[in-house]
Structure 1
Amino acid sequence: MASFHFPGTRFLSRACCVAALGLVGCSGREDWQVETQPVRGAVLINGEVPENAVLTLYPQGGPIDVRKSKPWGKVDADGTFVLQTYEQGDGAPPGTYDVTLVWRKDPSVLGSPDQLGGAYDEVRESQWTVAVEAGREELDPLRIDGVKIVTKPGRPQAPPDEPTR
């Protein structure tokens, strides 16, 4: 009885074994991603919920990964947000961050005006620092008072010298 030997058969079977072993240990994370933990918080501006405002966290001391990812969250109608770094709700890596905040008049329109007039969108001028700690999923609430709202969704503001009705 004759047997056939195909060149590369050993290489192919070894490659399949290595690939299979690699899949067994996969956690769903890419090798460049760092561990995150769930983090949530809340924001109020002048006692009002800034629905659809976006907070972005900039890591102090350098990037958290090779792609320079930044955790961020979008404020819901109840004033809460959930941070994400790589996928929805995954949170943020432990560390200390500077925070920026932008509240677009119409978040569905690219370049829509920031209702905060750009006062909090520069990380170099950030007024807030948060610490994401291992095992702590809730950030202290961020309350911002005395802020001039440039425009409010759905209703334009009258110029300051004209009375409102």
Structure 2
Amino acid sequence: MAGCGGGLSAPTTAPVSGTVQFRGKPAVGVKVTFHPKFDMGSVKFTPNGLTDKDGRFTLNTAAPGDGAPPGEYAVTFELPRVTADQRGLDTEVDVWKGKYSDPEKSTFKVTVQKGDNALETFKLD
């Protein structure tokens, strides 16, 4: 079947990679999210990635590993874990209880440039 056209077009992106440490050690399974501080148009993309066993991540906007549109971002971090709530239903919670997840309070700022972006290590305590 044919699509209906007029679909969402992905923005131009640049590769972005980095590492996250928590208390001096690689932070595994951390969701890293870049919140744009510039006008990206009608659709607000929030590039994100997940850290591996070495604390490394690459950002994804519209496709795996495609990076992020150039511009300034506030960066947030969440360490999701699935736990059972009082009714026995699985629910995802942030182990850090939102300490690093508010883009308005984030002290981590990054400017993505055209070309490859290998970022400094994000050090969380």
* Residue 55 of structure 1 pairs with residue 32 of structure 2: yes
Rounded Cα–Cα distance in structure 2 between residues aligned with 1:104 and 1:51: 10
> Following TM superposition, by how much is the alpha carbon of 1:56 offset from its aligned partner in structure 2, in angstroms?
0.8
Rounded Cα–Cα distance in structure 2 between residues aligned with 1:88 and 1:65: 22
Question: If each structure's helix is expressed as a fraction of its own residues, which one has the higher value?
Answer: 1
* Residue 100 of structure 1 pairs with residue 76 of structure 2: yes
| 1:65-84 superposed matches below 5 A | 65-84=41-60
Rounded Cα–Cα distance in structure 2 between residues aligned with 1:110 and 1:74: 21
Q: SS at the partner of 2:104?
A: helix
* Residue 141 of structure 1 pairs with residue 121 of structure 2: yes
CA contact (8 A) 1:32 1:66 kept: no
Deviations 1:81-127 (A, max 9, x none): 000100100000111100111001239x9642211121111111112
Give me the TM-score of the superposition, normalised by structure 2. 0.81
CA contact (8 A) 2:58 2:67 kept: yes
- Greater than 3 Å deviation, 4+ residue runs: none
> Following TM superposition, by how much is the alpha carbon of 1:137 offset from its aligned partner in structure 2, in angstroms?
2.3
Question: If each structure's strand is expressed as a fraction of its own residues, which one has the higher value?
Answer: 2
Rounded Cα–Cα distance in structure 1 between residues aligned with 2:91 and 2:74: 23
Give me the TM-score of the superposition, normalised by structure 1. 0.63
How many residue pairs match? The answer is 114
Percentage identity across aligned positions? 32
Rounded Cα–Cα distance in structure 2 between residues aligned with 1:122 and 1:80: 21
Equivalent residue for 1:36? 13
Q: Superposition RMSD on alpha carbons, in Å?
A: 2.0
- Structure 1, gaps ≥5 residues long: 1-29, 146-165
